[in-house]
Amino acid sequence: MSSELVPASLFRRLAAALYDSLILIALFMFFSAAVLPLTGGEAVSPGNPWFRAGLLLVAMAFFCGFWLRAGQTLGMRAWRLVVRRQDGGPVAGVRSSLDYLRQVAA
């Protein structure tokens, strides 16, 4: 990797986000199917905070797991994007989780 970081274009970022969103939708569907036996086969009530927290954890595990392992998700890999710190180093464990939570809360 070169010493100077060049930000990716908006198109490439959106394309990678589209790829990752399709994977996340599938993961959310698997999570929802896993929760169904706990609710007796009934739909989860709208706005259930535990279900929302579970979905957030699934998304965090997806992004943080890929970012910590390789610095890129599957969508980012397809578009040759990498997550790096401002100084060019790889993201750290707690730092990537906190950054993701800040983005979700904003």
By the 10 Å C-beta count (0-12 exposed, 13-18 middle, 19+ buried), 16 is classed as buried
* Cα(100)–Cα(95) distance, integer angstroms: 9
**At a CB cut-off of 8 Å and minimum separation 6, what does 31 contact?**
54, 55, 58
3-55: per-residue pLDDT in tens?
A: 577 888 999 999 999 999 999 999 999 999 999 999 888 989 888 999 999 99
* pTM assigned to the model: 0.76
